[in-house]
Amino acid sequence: MNELPVPIHYKIYTLRGKQIMLDEDLAELYEVETRVLNQAVKRNSERFPSDFMFQLTQEEYTNLKSQFVTSSLQEHGGRRKMPYAFTENGVYMLSAVLKSKVAVEISIEIMRTFTKLREFSLHYNALAKRLLEMEQKNSKEFRKIYALLDELMAGAREADTKVMGFLRGESDA
């Protein structure tokens, strides 16, 4: 499998409370045209219930394009139809429909990426919960920490006002 130009996790978005991948991104990863991918899905529509795949609304597509300026969405200009979004289960089902070696290899990598994102989310949530518990138990100490962080941030802002040794706004004269 060739090195991917953009890591898979950059092609996973959250929409309607689900992590999804767009048909155009999947087609790029699977090295097929978006039209070919969607035709394969239509031929096997019974494998793709609404919790596996759904079509974006114009508003959702516009919001995605505006939020992810550097994403591949910018490269896919004029579409006649709104893109399809595939959930993790839908992506897994695609590997059964697109049987090429590339599709199988990419599907494995995508599944691994979804798993890593889920694990990260669990660790992040556990850390956030632990911090909240510590803050509730030690609110006085946390106030000291927050005050120290504020001082550090003020120092960082002050340093930001200097540009290559000169204060902003100073003239060359």
Query: For 142-155, what is each residue's pLDDT tens digit?
Result: 777 777 888 887 76
- Domain for residue 1, yes or no? no
Residue 99, pLDDT score: 76
37 and 108 part of one domain: yes
- Domain for residue 166, yes or no? no
Range of the domain at 56: 8-122
143 and 66 part of one domain: no
Residue 158, pLDDT score: 58
- Domain for residue 103, yes or no? yes
- Domain for residue 138, yes or no? yes
For residue 164, name the pLDDT band (cuts at 50, 70, 90).
Answer: very low
Residue 147 tokens, joined: 């005050």
> Is pLDDT of 3 > 50?
yes
Averaged pLDDT score across all residues of the chain = 78
**Least-confidence region, from 17-21, 54-58, 106-110, 118-122:** 118-122
- Number of folded domains that form the chain: 2
Q: How far apart are CA 157 and CA 167, in angstroms?
A: 12
Considering 66-80, 86-100, 113-127, 134-148, the range whose residues carry the highest mean pLDDT is 86-100
Query: For 7-17, what is each residue's pLDDT tens digit?
Result: 788 888 888 98
Q: How far apart are CA 158 and CA 46, in angstroms?
A: 61
105 and 115 part of one domain: yes
Residues comprising the chain, all counted:
173
- Domain for residue 144, yes or no? yes
> Is pLDDT of 24 > 60?
yes
> Is pLDDT of 68 > 70?
no
Q: Which of 83, 54, 80 is nearest to 71 (CA)?
A: 83
CA angle 19, 2, 78 (to 5 degrees): 55
Query: For 38-64, what is each residue's pLDDT tens digit?
Result: 999 999 999 999 999 999 999 998 888
- Domain for residue 150, yes or no? yes
Residue 144, pLDDT score: 79
Q: Are 12 and 21 in contact (CB under 8 A)?
A: yes
Higher pLDDT, 134 or 72: 134
Q: What is the DSSP string of 26-71?
A: HHHHHTS-HHHHHHHHHHTGGG--TTTEEEPPHHHHHHHHHH-TTS
Considering 57-61, 124-128, 164-168, the range whose residues carry the highest mean pLDDT is 57-61
> Is pLDDT of 89 > 70?
yes
